[in-house]
């Protein structure tokens, strides 16, 4: 059980790192869509190689003949596209920790809706008063973490508000994606193969979008303010594989509640670490008592929403 918790924590921690790395890649592609297409394609290629080794029987005609190609084969990957591209848009405008926090808010609310109404074959869990308190604490924590005092910062905060709303909506995608991919994993009897399908659909969608929007797949090898392009800028897709596959693996063992909360804890922790130390070129924003108070409120809110 301890290993499963550590796996979920590690899976959550890779999300802000993936976002930071993919943000670097944008400097060379000059396009969020193109960067996301590269990320998904790298993840799909990596998963293809892994699946060919681990589950070669899944690539036979007889396997596909016995499958029902329903919506679970397509929707999960498209939701992944929405979440990843959304993070790339949010990161330079909100910073790592706030990007993580606001998308977590969306994840919590959508997770609560799924549980309350039993969407995607989830067990129905009534919306209680304690869950309502959890929602309030969640938003109090977000406000506390984004609180500003002087007028100049207040103006900046007002400019950030629309992006907070957009980030909140982007957060709806992961709970739905995880629920759908989990169904697909059970259908094909392989978490790795379900991840491969999700990444392939995402990569195809993003390549089409890039071709329409950018009309070019040019990739700069050098940018004046950042230097030469580095191989590390291409590993974002592999980190995405870790997150998606771990969630598919953990849900049957920990359940949706613990899988979500452990992953979110990892995201919050790494988001704050990136901002505090200015890792991967992020603007340094040191942790303080206000942020700690906000994180505590958010963490208590998550517990109330997920366990009561």
From residue 143, how far is each of 140, 152, 154, 169, 260 by CA, in Å?
5, 17, 13, 17, 22
List per-block mean pLDDT (blocks of 10 residues) for the chain, which spans 308 residues.
Answer: 82 86 86 89 95 93 86 90 81 75 81 80 78 82 64 53 88 87 88 93 93 86 84 89 88 71 79 79 75 82 72
Q: What element of type H or E holds 227? A: strand 227-228
pLDDT at 151: 45
In the block, which residue shows the tokens 């193969």? 193
Q: What is the helix, strand, coil percentage profile of the chain, to 5?
A: 80, 0, 15
- CB-based contact 266:239 (threshold 8 Å): no
Four-CA torsion 167, 169, 172, 177, nearest 10 degrees: -80
The SS3 call for residue 222 is strand
- CB-based contact 204:78 (threshold 8 Å): no
- CB-based contact 176:110 (threshold 8 Å): yes
pLDDT at 268: 75
pLDDT at 51: 95
List the one residue out of 227, 269, 224 whose CA is nearest residue 10.
Answer: 269
pLDDT at 97: 66
From residue 153, how far is each of 46, 75, 96 by CA, in Å?
43, 40, 18
- CB-based contact 194:55 (threshold 8 Å): no
pLDDT at 146: 61
pLDDT at 154: 42
pLDDT at 56: 92
pLDDT at 200: 95
List the one residue out of 234, 246, 185, 174 whose CA is nearest residue 46.
Answer: 234
Chain Cα centroid distance, residue 156 = 26
d(CA 69, CA 195): 15
């Amino acid at each position: 059980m301890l290993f499963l918790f550590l796996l979920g924590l590690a899976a959550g921690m890779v999300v802000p790192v993936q976002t930071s790395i993919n943000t670097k890649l944008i400097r060379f592609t000059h396009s969020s869509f193109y960067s996301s297409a590269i990320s998904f394609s790298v993840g799909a290629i990596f998963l293809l190689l892994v699946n060919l080794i681990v589950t070669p029987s899944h690539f036979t005609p007889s396997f596909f003949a016995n499958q029902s190609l329903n919506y679970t084969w397509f929707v999960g990957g498209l939701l992944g596209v929405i979440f990843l591209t959304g993070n790339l848009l949010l990161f330079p405008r909100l910073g790592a920790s706030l990007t993580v926090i606001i998308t977590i808010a969306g994840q919590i609310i959508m997770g609560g809706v799924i549980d309350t109404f039993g969407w995607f074959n989830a067990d129905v869990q009534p919306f209680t008063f304690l869950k309502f308190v959890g929602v309030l604490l969640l938003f109090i924590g977000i406000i506390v973490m984004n609180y500003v005092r002087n007028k100049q910062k207040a103006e900046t905060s007002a400019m950030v508000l629309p992006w907070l709303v957009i980030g909140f909506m982007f957060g709806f995608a992961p709970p739905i994606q995880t629920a759908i991919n989990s169904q697909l994993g059970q259908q094909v009897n392989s978490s790795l193969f379900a991840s491969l399908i999700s990444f392939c659909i995402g990569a195809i969608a993003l390549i089409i979008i890039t071709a329409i929007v950018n009309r070019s797949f040019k990739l700069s090898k050098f940018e004046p303010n950042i230097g030469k392009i580095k191989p590390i800028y291409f590993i974002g897709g592999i980190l995405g594989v870790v997150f998606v596959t771990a969630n598919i693996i953990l849900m049957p063992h920990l359940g949706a509640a613990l899988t979500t909360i452990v992953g979110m804890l990892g995201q919050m922790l790494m988001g704050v670490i990136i901002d505090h130390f200015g890792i991967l070129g992020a603007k340094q924003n040191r942790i303080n008592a206000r942020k700690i108070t906000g994180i505590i409120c958010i963490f208590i809110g998550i517990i109330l929403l997920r366990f009561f």
